[in-house]
Amino acid sequence: MSAQLVLSFVAAAERLDMAAMLKCLHPDCEFRNQPLPGWTVARGLPAVSRQLRALLWLVRDFKVLSIRKVKQVDGVLSFVRSERLNVLGRIVELEISAEFRFRDGRIVYWQDDFSLGELRSVLFKRCR
């Protein structure tokens, strides 16, 4: 159930379908986008919704290239995914370590870990 929920969530993200993404989230959900500072942690559905809207404003296209190293232990689902994003016209490929926890059939905790240096190197490289 939880793996299928996350796959539905990821599919909605690929479609940039905010409404479908929010349906997968618990009202008490928490989203952590590491290694961003702690003040960016979103707690509660309204805050997570605002965070996602900001991300979707930046992202023009999103595609998961692969999901691997899937583990589910004590109700925590974790995996590594490769993704390609078009962020304001720049193509970014990232490796993300993701962790999800669940309550009442929905995602209550979601954390993505990625290399901020890798993201910066693509977004802020000089145009030639």
**Token pair 């999901």: residue:** 67
- Domains of the chain and any CATH numbers: 2-59+67-79+97-114 (3.10.450.50)
| pLDDT score, position 122 | 65
Q: How far apart are CA 77 and CA 4, in angstroms?
A: 11
Taking all residues of the chain, what is their mean pLDDT, rounded to a whole number?
87
Q: Are 57 and 77 a contacting pair, CB within 8 Å?
A: no
| pLDDT score, position 22 | 95
The DSSP result for 21-52, as a single string, is HHHTEEEEEEEEEETS-GGG-EESHHHHHHHH
pTM of the model: 0.86
Q: Which of 110, 114, 67, 76 is CA-nearest to residue 95?
A: 114
| pLDDT score, position 81 | 92
pLDDT band, residue 37 (cuts 50/70/90): low
